[in-house]
Structure 1
Amino acid sequence: MVCLRTIKLLRDDFPETKKYPFGLPSLKAMEEIELEAPVTFFVGENGSGKSTLLEAIAYQCGFHTAGGSRNNVYDVDKSEASLGDYVRLSWMPKLTNGFFLRAESFYQFASHIDETERINPTRYRNYGGRSLHEQSHGESFLALFANRFSGKGIYLLDEPEAALSPMRQLAFLYVMQDLVAEGAQFLIATHSPILMGFPGATILNFDASPLVQVRYEETEHYQITRRFLENPAKFLAE
């Protein structure tokens, strides 16, 4: 099910500056992204703008831009969404349930949950029954996915593979599959050729200007990984 239908970039309102992110090639030619699949991947090199756009979408959803939902309030340096006021979202119907995962500030989010637990103990009901800090990085991510994500909701994930081994990336795909069947929608910025292989997903390439939709086998991530695995020594020699 697709509830977030359109992402519109208000380029005419951009400030007159070439500073990041307003000078990014991926944004200069972007006007509107229509979402048709319940899972959409943003792919491209570091600095291409995929995480910046995802953060702006989280801002417009009312989620904490350092990670969390509408109910999570805590302070983190440099968590402002520089593109947030220049994005408009079109819904049918609008979802208020969801979560923004930002791998680079997950530690601060976990600390926020510990502080919340001290004030109002719930035995970490939504996080696998114990502090996220008491679990390995990968365990804490999967505990969040399996316990905090549920039913209809929009889930914005910035490089979730950062803490996941290949086997746990596959486990996450199973979680995604179940959640999509329940009506969830995912937007994911990733470098993982495992995750972006989710069946039926839309893949948007941020290295192109304007953005283009690509097939899984056309992604640089798939092609480089396949060539390397077929013959590592030859690949490195070349």
Structure 2
Amino acid sequence: MPTQEPPPARPVRRVERVPGAPVDPGAWPDSVPAVAQLLREGLELPAGVTFLVGANGTGKSTVVEAVAEVLGVHPEGGSAAHLAGADRGRGADRSGLADRLRAVRSPGRRGPAFFLRAETAHRFYTYLEEAAHPGEGPPPPHPLHRLSHGEGFTEVLLRSRWVREAPVLLLDEPESALSFENQLLLGAALAGAAAEGRQVLCATHSPLLTALPGAHVLQLDGHGLAPVAWEELELVREWRFFLDAPERYWRGVL
């Protein structure tokens, strides 16, 4: 019996601008430093888990969404198979960045990437219920709709075959729906995916997730994006200062 070919350690090696694609430094999203750097230099995707960290507006979700679209995934989430017949555009909030990018892939077996974003998770559940019951009349609610937001998110992330089988897993702020314990479970699942030769790209504000052993962390800020040690992350320093003296922060705010 032939030996099954192992998955490539880096299904996607790099995302880069299509040669000759236009760049407008004065317009969004090209005006965002991290996006400008991506268009100028490309983005290397290492094996294993990579976190994108930064304040609101630094381009984390824009970059993850663009990578998802480049890999054939609808910007609202799912895999290439999900929402395949739907309108590919999200409307006015779609950045259009993916139209100017391409993926440099490793040779070897491929499968569909999977993208899950907290803000559109329930629309993804609705798609699943409609796909399972095509035809006239409202479909019965999908079981995921009967769960809390965090429970449904956890069910998809930890138990769904789409996540288990995807060679590339893309996540946008998954911690917003998860408790402390479930963030730990998610981190363990991401470590397991990395051990199986799969890649993860996750935008997050979570100091817990970014502490995952062996993970790569890129900080996005006013200078662009660069690798940063966990201890040096701005969000880690802020949380440490806050937990050390929360009343000091509240005095400044109130």
Q: TM-score normalized by structure 2? A: 0.82
Q: Does 1:204 align with 2:218?
A: yes
Counterparts of 1:84 and 1:180, CA distance in 2: 25
Q: Which runs of 5+ in 2 are unaligned?
A: 1-8, 136-141
SS at match of 1:90: strand
Number of aligned pairs? Answer: 229
Letter in structure 2 aligned against 1:20: W
Counterpart of 1:170, as a letter, is L
Matches within 5 A, 1:48-59: 48-59=58-69
1:25 deviates by 1.9
- Alignment of 1:223 with 2:237, yes or no, is yes
Q: 1:70 deviation in Å?
A: 0.7
Distance in 2, Cα, partners of 1:11 & 1:214 = 29
Q: Contact between 1:103 and 1:159, CA under 8 Å: does it hold in 2?
A: yes
Deviates more, 1:130-139 or 1:182-191: 130-139
- TM superposition score normalised by structure 1: 0.87
The separation in 1 between residues aligned to 2:159 and 2:131, in whole angstroms, is 17
Please list, as runs of the form range in 1=range in 2, the aligned pairs for 1:114-129 lying within 5 A after superposition: 114-119=129-134
Aligned equivalents of 1:175, 1:97: Cα separation in 2: 18
Paired AA for residue 111 in structure 1:
T
Give the 3-state SS of the residue equivalent to 2:164 in structure 1.
coil
CA distance in 2, matches of 1:151, 1:109: 18
Aligned partner letter, 1:84: A
In the other structure, the counterpart of 2:27 is 19
**Equivalent residue number for residue 137 of structure 1:** 149
The Cα shift of 1:7 comes to 1.8
Match of 1:2 among 6, 10, 28: 10
Contact 1:11 1:28 in 2 (8 A): no
Separation (CA, whole Å) in 2 of partners of 1:28 and 1:11: 15
The offset of 1:36, in angstroms, is 2.3
Identity in percent:
36
Q: How far did residue 6 of structure 1 move?
A: 1.2
Counterpart code for 1:40: T
Bigger mean CA offset, 38-47 vs 145-154:
145-154
| Alignment of 1:109 onto 2:124 | yes
Relative to 1, partners in 2 of residues 1:81 and 1:99: Cα closer, same or farther, differing over 3 Å? Answer: farther
Which of 35, 38, 41 is the equivalent residue of 2:45? Answer: 35
Per-residue CA deviation, residues 45-65 of structure 1 (Å, 9 max, x unaligned), is 111111111111111100111
Cα distance in 2 for residues equivalent to 1:17 and 1:226: 36
Deviates more, 1:47-56 or 1:71-80: 71-80
Corresponding residue of 1:188: 202
